[in-house]
Structure 1
Amino acid sequence: MRRLFPTALPVLMLLVACTAPSPQPTPATPPQGSEASPSSSPSATATLDPGGQASSGTLNGVTGGDETPGEDDPGRFAFLCSSLDASPEVQLSSLAEVWAASNYTRMASCQVTYAGSEPFEPTPRESEAISSASTQGESSGNGLDTLLDVLRLCARISEEVGPGGFDGASRGTLLASAAYCPKGPQGKIIAAWARGERFGDGTHAVGDGVVAGAVQLVKPSGNADECAWTVTGPDGSVVARGGLAEAGKQVVLEEGQNFTSDKCGIWGKMY
């Protein structure tokens, strides 16, 4: 045994070395400017392109329509939404809650009030909406009333040409709403009204209120069987006229003309 011990010790040490875990590589540090770098997402401002469509840019560093802390935080605004049926009114606390409501498509509209801390201080994104909605580039006072109207349009409008609908909203408010909530359930409809590619009954100046091109009746009114429309030239001469049958096909409008629609409903640009 004394002669075997010196020989066994080196063998035992060799076995221990072979079974020891190998060192693990250290995780690589992302290079400066990679996706993991917090400085790789510069802030920008979302706008409407020349056609009025919300751009793919971001609004104050956040994609237009996304929820951002301090801007659509539950409790900052209160949304009291009425229903198209006999259901009771529903109190919600953010646009996200309104859009996610199970009865959203059965909502008539929502009244919006400010419920945050006083005095009201608009966030950068809210300030952008307030400024966009004003024809003078700024709103009177702190702009809260203007912002509440933008939020109301973004929440839910069941009757586009009814009281408080898109038809009666100013172009500035429509443009601001289209930029503020392009991803909302009615975002595309709001943008179409803002661009003048969707409009209701009345007299419209083509090129200033409604776009030139081919349009058709996309949502007939309840008495559309009495629909009558007329296209007149700059001198007042009648260029074209018709009723419901022709309205459902195609009506061509040229810039400088006037288009008058009575008891027809909602018109939309043909693509």
Structure 2
Amino acid sequence: MRRLFPMVVPLVMLLVACTPSAQPQPGTSTSSTTTGTANSSATAEPSHSPSTIPSSGTTDGGEPLGDGDEPGRYAYRCTSLDASPEVQLSSLAEVWAATNYTRMGSCEVTYTGPQPFEPTPRETEAISTAAPQGAGDDDGLAVMLDVLRLCTRISDESGPGGFEEAGRGTLLAAASLCPDAPQGKIIAAWAEGTRMADGSHLVGDSVQPGKYQVVRQGPSAADCRWSLTGAGGAIAAEGGLPAVGEGLDLAAGQNFTSDKCGIWGKMY
């Protein structure tokens, strides 16, 4: 035994030196520090759900934007009727929210989105409504710009570039694309044929039958003259502005002519 003892001691010491050091168990201070760092990082960069982050197709309040009116897709350069400086805006919503919107004369619309122009589904629908005969890519963009321009209108309905000059298809497209515009109901009335300006109108074709009144007098309303003729051309009624105080009944097939009266609207 005395001979073996000197050999056993070195062997035991060698085995102890080669044994791996114990790893920290879960719940030790080292593990807690590592886990805490990971949790802190997750808190700094939370993963948001779609309901809390507006997508490119929604407003900050989560409301859907029109496909043809994504901010930055079009530029609106608007002039004012009161000599205010023109403004540059990036969406219809900005145009409608402008402090001088009711004093705007007109807005020039240009496309600033990705090239080449590829209409969104809603834009495609608007283009098809405005130009049912079909339109090429370049023509489609021109049609879309005209529709958007009508969506910016508020004043001088029958002036240059106003609703009176617009085609029926373009009015229908604008009424469908921007029903929430401040003047959305007015656009719809022009599109439906329940609102009209001076000129000659076939009742039942360009305008709906019904009882009409002057809803906005023209600058020369004192000289207003109108006439209503039957299918054979015989005059059924005629007069000036005072004669339509209670409304004027228009029947299908009649031809209605108005001069210097202003804008007429259907009462019922």
Both proteins in one fold, TM over 0.5:
yes
Describe how 1:237-256 pairs up with structure 2 within 5 A. 237-256=234-253
Whole-angstrom CA distance in 2 between matches of 1:146 and 1:185: 22
Which of structures 1 and 2 has the bigger CA Rg?
A: 2
| Rounded Cα–Cα distance in structure 1 between residues aligned with 2:161 and 2:66 | 29
- Distance in 1, matches of 2:170 and 2:157, equals 14
Whether the aligned pair in 2 keeps the contact of 1:67 and 1:96 (CA below 8 Å) is no
Give the 3-state SS of the residue equivalent to 1:259 in structure 2. Answer: strand
The Cα shift of 1:124 comes to 0.3
Structure 1 position 96 matched with structure 2 position 93: yes
Q: Distance in 1 between matches of 2:185 and 2:66?
A: 24
Q: Separation in 1 of the partners of 2:202 and 2:103?
A: 34
CA RMSD after TM alignment? 1.5
Work out whether residues 160 and 166 of structure 1, in 8 Å CA contact, stay in contact via their aligned partners in 2: yes
Aligned 8 A contact 2:66 2:177 in 1 = no
Q: TM-score, normalised by structure 2?
A: 0.74
Structure 2 letter corresponding to 1:184? A
What is the match of residue 43 of structure 2?
none
Would the aligned equivalents of 1:157 and 1:165 in 2 still touch at CA under 8 Å? no
Q: How far is the alpha carbon of 1:67 from its aligned partner?
A: 4.5
- Describe the superposition over 1:230-256 as per-residue Cα deviations: whole angstroms up to 9, x where unpaired: 000000000000101013321111100
State the partner residue of 1:141: 137
Calculate percent identity across the aligned residue pairs. 62
Q: Are residues 1:184 and 2:169 paired?
A: no
Opposite residue 76 of structure 2, the aligned amino acid is F
Structure 1 residue 78 displacement after superposition: 0.4
Q: Residue 221 of structure 1 aligns with which residue? A: 218
Tell me, yes or no, if structure 1 residue 156 matches structure 2 residue 153.
yes
**Alignment partner, residue 124 of structure 1:** 121
Partner of 2:102: 105
Q: C-alpha distance in 2, partners of 1:227/1:69?
A: 41
How many Å separate the matches in 2 of 1:78 and 1:235?
50
Q: CA deviation at 1:157?
A: 3.5
| Number of positions where the alignment pairs a residue of Structure 1 with one of Structure 2 | 206
Write the distance in 1 (CA, Å) between the matches of 2:146 and 2:102: 20
Q: Which runs of 5+ in 2 are unaligned?
A: 1-50, 52-62
Report how far residue 103 of structure 1 moved.
1.1
- 1:77 to 2:68 alignment: no
In the alignment, structure 1 segments of 5+ residues that lack a partner are 1-37, 39-65
Deviant stretches of 4+, over 6 Å: none
Q: Is the 8 A contact 1:218 1:248 kept in 2?
A: no
Match of 2:196 among 190, 195, 199: 199
